Amino acid sequence: MSVQTAKSREEVPEEISAVNLVDPKSYLEHDMDAYWRRLRADHPLHWHPPVDGVPGFWVVSRYADVMALYRDNQRLTSEKGNVLVTLLAGGDSAAGQMLAVTDGQRHKDLRNVMLKAFSPRALSKVAALVRVNARRMIAEAVRRGEGDFAAEVASVIPLTTVGGLLGVPVKDHAYLLGLTKSSLSSDEADQAPEEAFLARNEILLYFSDLVAERRADPQDDVISTLTASDINGVPLTDQDIVFNCYSLILGGDETSRLTMIDSLYTLSREPEQWKRLKEGSVTLESATEEALRWATPAMNFGRTALVDVEMAGGTIKAGDVVTLWNTSANRDESVFDHPYVLDLGRSPNKHITFGYGPHFCLGAYLARVEVKEMLDAMRTFTRGVELTGEPRRIHSNLMAGMSTLPVRFLPDEAGLATADS
Ligand code: HEM
User: What is the complex's ipTM, to 2 decimals?
Assistant: 0.99
Do strands 382-387 and 76-77 pair parallel, antiparallel, or not at all (unpaired)? unpaired
Q: How far is the CA of 50 from the centre of ligand 1 (A)?
A: 28
Contact 116, 225 (CB under 8 A): yes
Shortest-distance atom of ligand 1 to CA 158:
26
Q: What is the mean pLDDT of the chain?
A: 92
Q: Would the pLDDT of 212 be above 50?
A: yes
**How much is the pLDDT for 392?**
96
Architecture (CATH level 2) of domain 38-420: Orthogonal Bundle (1.10)
Q: How far is the CA of 100 from the centre of ligand 1 (A)?
A: 8
**Cβ of 247 below 6 Å from ligand 1:** yes
**How much is the pLDDT for 9?**
41
pLDDT of 175-189, one tens digit each? 998 888 788 655 666
**Cβ of 256 below 6 Å from ligand 1:** yes
Q: How far is the CA of 19 from the centre of ligand 1 (A)?
A: 27
Domain boundaries, the chain: 38-420
- Ligand 1 pocket test target in 362, 371, 398 with most atoms within 8 Å of CB: 362
Model confidence band, residue 255 (pLDDT cutoffs 50, 70, 90): very high
Question: Cβ neighbours of residue 172 under 8 Å, at least 6 residues apart?
Answer: 163, 206
Model confidence band, residue 4 (pLDDT cutoffs 50, 70, 90): very low
Model confidence band, residue 235 (pLDDT cutoffs 50, 70, 90): very high
Q: How far is the CA of 363 from the centre of ligand 1 (A)?
A: 6
pLDDT of 81-124, one tens digit each? 999 999 999 999 899 999 999 999 999 999 999 998 888 888 89
Report which of 250, 249, 255 is spatially closest to residue 154, judged by C-alpha positions.
255
Gap between the Cα atoms of 122 and 167, Å rounded = 11
**How much is the pLDDT for 251?**
86
Q: Would the pLDDT of 197 be above 90?
A: no
**How much is the pLDDT for 122?**
83
Contact 417, 381 (CB under 8 A): no
**How much is the pLDDT for 181?**
77
pLDDT of 327-366, one tens digit each? 999 999 999 999 999 999 999 999 999 999 999 999 999 9
Contact 401, 261 (CB under 8 A): yes
Q: Is the pTM of this model over 0.80?
A: yes
Which residue has a Cα nearest atom 17 of ligand 1? 255
**How much is the pLDDT for 164?**
86
Gap between the Cα atoms of 331 and 217, Å rounded = 48
**Cβ of 159 below 6 Å from ligand 1:** no
